[in-house]
Amino acid sequence: LQTRMQSLQPDPKAQYRSVYEALKKIVLTEGFWRPLRGINVTMLGAGPAHAMYFACYEKMKKSLSDTIQHGGNSHLANGIAGSVATLLHDAVMNPAEVVKQRMQMFNSPYKSVLACIRTVQKTEGFGAFYRSYTTQLTMNVPFQAIHFITYEFMQEQINPHRGYNPRSHIVSGAVAGAVAAAATTPLDVCKTLLNTQENIALSSVNVSGQLSGMVNAFKTVYQLGGVSGYFRGVQARVIYQMPSTAISWSVYEFFKYFLTKHKLEKRT
């Protein structure tokens, strides 16, 4: 839904006024499973990407907090650790995101994930999978910095003892995801344009060939939609991120608690 709603010059058959209308229209005209196209490639990359992401975050958060605030909870340490963890995460997830978004566009010519990978590799080269990597990092570094700082701040407010408390992890994760998602929507719109290379939109502003680079994407989005163009799909993005970050944090905190408890039991 987010990819479709961020389309800057959509096909008349793919114009939506709200998240609900978009979902209803896609299901009725393109089938029940259409909104989930490309989800398998995302799931494939998500496992290893998130494992590296949280492992790097925990290690760096601890090391930096010890240095900056002598073992205390440093917001600066949380932000830096989240940003560095993002570099590893996005190196895995960026190609998966390109494939997923191309498959989710209206009238997508790709029949399967493999067909999409082969076609993009053949026609645009390997670089196409990383064309939006710098934009992705420029978006995700502030996103994850805001996300981790907000999560740790929320935990300080509603779970000051930092024990395992599922409700606090879900609430903190959802709030952190919503705040970070809303703040970084303009960058996400630019990333979507770089990933999908919308032909109709690009030709209407006389862009020939492939659009590359975040600065060019920013200019093109403004040409096509003005200031409001930067906030296309903000509602869908926030709705998507809230459960995503809530689930991610609650699952992570559960396994962290479970494994720590198990390790302590083995020692005693």
Q: Model-level pTM?
A: 0.64
Give dist(CA 68, CA 65) in Å, integer: 5
pLDDT at 150: 95
Q: What is the pLDDT of residues 95-151, one digit of tens each?
A: 888 888 787 766 666 677 788 888 888 888 888 888 878 877 887 888 999 999 999
Give dist(CA 197, CA 179) in Å, integer: 28
pLDDT at 253: 93
Q: Spell out a b/e string for 137-149, using b for 16 or more CB atoms within 10 Å of the CB, else e.
A: bbbbbbbbbbbbb
Mean pLDDT lowest among 27-36, 81-90, 99-108, 146-155: 27-36
> Residue 2's closest CA among 99, 147, 139, 18?
18
Helix axes 19-30, 234-267, angle to 10 degrees: 90
Question: How large a percentage of the chain has pLDDT more than 70?
Answer: 79
State yes or no: pLDDT of 35 exceeds 70: no
Query: Which one has a higher pLDDT value, 14 or 124?
Result: 124
CB 8 within 8 A of CB 201: yes
Q: What is the pLDDT of residues 207-261, one digit of tens each?
A: 767 777 778 888 888 988 888 888 888 888 899 899 999 999 999 999 889 888 8
In terms of average pLDDT, the best of 62-71, 91-100, 156-165, 223-232 is 156-165
Backbone dihedral angles phi then psi of residue 36, each to the nearest 5 degrees: -100, 10
